[in-house]
Structure 1
Amino acid sequence: MSPLVTIILPCYNAAALLPDTLASLSTQTFADFECIAIDDGSSDATRALLDAHAAIDPRFSIVSRENRGLIATLNEAIALSRGEWIARMDADDIAHPERLGRQLAALQASGADVCGVGVRFFGERDGLWLPPTSDAAIKAALLFNPPFAHPGAMVRASVFKQHGYDSAASHAEDYALWCALAKGGARFVGIAAPLLDYRIHPGQITQTKTAAMAQTAAAVRLDYARHALPADWADADKVRFAELAASDRALDRSDWFTFTAWLVTLAQADPATRDAFTTVWLDALIRTRGVDWRCKKRFSALSRALPPPAEERGKWQRQRVRVLAGDAVYGLIKRLRVRA
């Protein structure tokens, strides 16, 4: 009999961190799963660790072969999967015990095709990243970046097998996939609770391929913006919106005013999307140069219309001080704090 869930676990030179990951999967409260772990040509002890774990937990199936890269490995695992649902996992992260069970419950209750969860960062950086929970808000959040962490996703297998990962979207394959699924009519749901511990370390792709990731993401973002933004918007405005939405794009005050006015317009047009914008305007302010008293009125209006969630309260408070003091004084305050 086929399992209800297939976990796909790509592994490459992951021996140092893999044991905790494997243990977190074997101790899931939901037990009806298989895990297809593919050793993508590792040169360390990854294969030996996988084989040893499969010997004590027969739900794990191991494939080992030459290196083909992440996208090829993911697509291979999807093709081998037997479950009705496919859950992603990375070899350096830790799943909370109830992760699979809670995702299945959310998917079955909502009728959605894709479920993302919140993550808690650990390692070289800490913090919390919680996704929007509704289909509308998640699809709106895709205008900016992936709305949830890739290794925490669970997807209906038939949808995954129909689309798969695009080999042309290297280093932003998850963002490209979620946008493609949204454009194709898939439904999303999010769980605003940290069900995955996401390890930040120097060797991961998100740390080593930043420039390539940004370039691919920019193309994906523009294509999705042209699809998802209102039909009555001029194409030039859609292009401009996608440019200003990039998290690596420095803004000036005029850019920030333009961008945040668009965010308010979108939220007012469809209140169901509001949660997608509550941190975006604040993050955009952080990358804005020349912040001063002229931003105060807009900052106050945005704080009322799109109040950031509780986990962003510290960021909001720091930016409030920045707006009130202006960049020159705020920079001086920061330097004095460092010296102290």
Structure 2
Amino acid sequence: MMPVISIILPCYNAASLLPETLDSISKQTLNDFECIAIDDGSTDATRAVLDAHAAKDPRFTVISRENRGLIATLNEAIARSHGGWIARMDADDIAHPERLARQVAALEASGADVCGVGIRFFGERDGVWLPPETDAAIKAALLFNPPFAHPGVMARAALFAQHGYDSRAQHAEDYALWCAFAKAGATFVGIAEPLLDYRVHPGQITQTRRAEMAATGATIRADYARHALPADWPEADKAGFAELAAPDRALDRSDWFTFTAQLVTLAQRDPATRPAFCTVWLDALVRTHGVDWRCKKRFSLLSQQLPPPAEERGKWQRQRARVLAGDAVYGLIKKLRGRA
């Protein structure tokens, strides 16, 4: 009998962190699953840890072979899966016991094809990252970056099999796949609760390959913007939006006014997309230089029209102080506080 869910778990030199991850999978309240764990040519005790756990829990299938990289490993795990749903998991994260059950319930209740969850950071970072909850808001959020963490996603196996991970999207393979799903007409749902503990440590790709991720992300973002932005927008406006949306792009005050005006326009045209923009305008202000009193009116307007979520309250207060003081005075205050 086929399992309801196939969990795909790529592993590379993760022996010290794997036991917690494997235990969190085995303790899921929805227990009708298989876990395809692939040891991607590890040089530590990863294989031994996987074998020991599989000996205790027959739902785990362990594959060990030479190193082929993350994308090849993910696609291999997909090909070996039998479940109607595929759930992602990383070898250094911890799933809450009800994660799989909550995702299946959300997918079945909504009829959606893809479900992301909120995460709680631990290790070298703390805090919470919560996804938008509706299809419209999630697809709008894809204009900027992945709206949920890769290891917290569950989607129909048929979607994974049809599209797969793109070898050209190195270090941004999840972003490319979610955009491919969206362009193919898949529907999304989000659970705005932290159902995965996401470990942050120096060795992970998100910390060591930032420049490559940014470059690949820019290509994906520009392509998706051509698809997702309103059909009556000129191509030049779509390309400009994608450039200003890049999270590593420094903005000047004029850029920020242009970009935030576009966000308001999009939110007004389709109010269902509004939650996707409530943090974006604030993050854009963080990367803007030349902030001064001239930003005050726009800041107040955006705070009303696109109010940031509660978890961003601290950032909002800091940026409000920056707008009121101006960059020159605000920078001096920060410098004096640092000396105190």
TM-score for the superposition, normalised by structure 2 = 0.99
1:256-301 CA distance string (max 9 Å, x none):
0000000000000000000000000000000000100000000000
CA distance in 1 between counterparts of 2:335 and 2:121 reads 27
CA distance in 1 between counterparts of 2:132 and 2:339 reads 39
Corresponding residue of 1:293? 293
CA distance in 2 between counterparts of 1:199 and 1:22 reads 14
CA distance in 2 between counterparts of 1:338 and 1:18 reads 39
Corresponding residue of 1:121? 121
Matched position secondary structure for 1:193? strand
Does 1:155 pair with 2:155? yes
CA distance in 1 between counterparts of 2:147 and 2:93 reads 18
1:52-75 CA distance string (max 9 Å, x none):
000001110000000000000000
Q: What fraction of aligned residue pairs are identical, expressed as a percent?
A: 81
Matched position secondary structure for 1:231? coil
Which structure 2 residue ranges, 5 or more long, are not aligned?
Answer: none
Corresponding residue of 1:244? 244
Q: CA deviation at 1:16?
A: 1.3
1:65-107 CA distance string (max 9 Å, x none):
0000000000000000000100000000010111000000000
CA distance in 1 between counterparts of 2:174 and 2:295 reads 35
Corresponding residue of 1:338? 338
- Which amino acid is the alignment partner of residue 217 of structure 1? G
Matched position secondary structure for 1:166? coil
CA distance in 1 between counterparts of 2:90 and 2:67 reads 16
- Which amino acid is the alignment partner of residue 284 of structure 1? A
1:116-146 CA distance string (max 9 Å, x none):
0000111111111000000000000000000
- Report how many residues are paired: 340
Corresponding residue of 1:43? 43
CA distance in 1 between counterparts of 2:233 and 2:86 reads 37
Corresponding residue of 2:329? 329
CA distance in 1 between counterparts of 2:328 and 2:285 reads 15
Q: CA deviation at 1:304?
A: 0.2
Q: CA deviation at 1:337?
A: 2.0
Corresponding residue of 2:144? 144
Corresponding residue of 2:253? 253
CA distance in 2 between counterparts of 1:334 and 1:133 reads 36
Q: CA deviation at 1:335?
A: 1.5
User: What does residue range 92-131 of structure 1 map to in structure 2 within 5 Å?
Assistant: 92-131=92-131
Corresponding residue of 2:164? 164
- Which amino acid is the alignment partner of residue 31 of structure 2? A
Corresponding residue of 2:76? 76
- Which amino acid is the alignment partner of residue 10 of structure 2? P
- Which amino acid is the alignment partner of residue 101 of structure 1? A
CA distance in 2 between counterparts of 1:181 and 1:293 reads 42
CA distance in 2 between counterparts of 1:71 and 1:305 reads 40
Matched position secondary structure for 1:7? strand
CA distance in 2 between counterparts of 1:339 and 1:60 reads 54
CA distance in 1 between counterparts of 2:288 and 2:41 reads 43
CA distance in 2 between counterparts of 1:327 and 1:200 reads 31
Q: CA deviation at 1:333?
A: 1.5
Question: Runs in 1 of length 4+ with deviation above 3 angstroms?
Answer: none
Matched position secondary structure for 1:104? helix
Corresponding residue of 1:91? 91
CA distance in 2 between counterparts of 1:123 and 1:290 reads 34
Corresponding residue of 2:184? 184
Corresponding residue of 2:21? 21
CA distance in 2 between counterparts of 1:55 and 1:177 reads 33
User: What does residue range 168-247 of structure 1 map to in structure 2 within 5 Å?
Assistant: 168-247=168-247
Matched position secondary structure for 1:16? coil
Which structure 1 residue ranges, 5 or more long, are not aligned?
Answer: none
TM-score for the superposition, normalised by structure 1 = 0.99
State the Cα RMSD in Å: 0.5
Q: CA deviation at 1:332?
A: 1.3
- Which amino acid is the alignment partner of residue 324 of structure 2? L
Q: CA deviation at 1:160?
A: 0.8
1:237-259 CA distance string (max 9 Å, x none):
11100000000000000000000
Q: CA deviation at 1:336?
A: 2.0
CA distance in 2 between counterparts of 1:314 and 1:322 reads 12
Matched position secondary structure for 1:71? helix
- Which amino acid is the alignment partner of residue 320 of structure 2? R
Q: CA deviation at 1:338?
A: 1.8
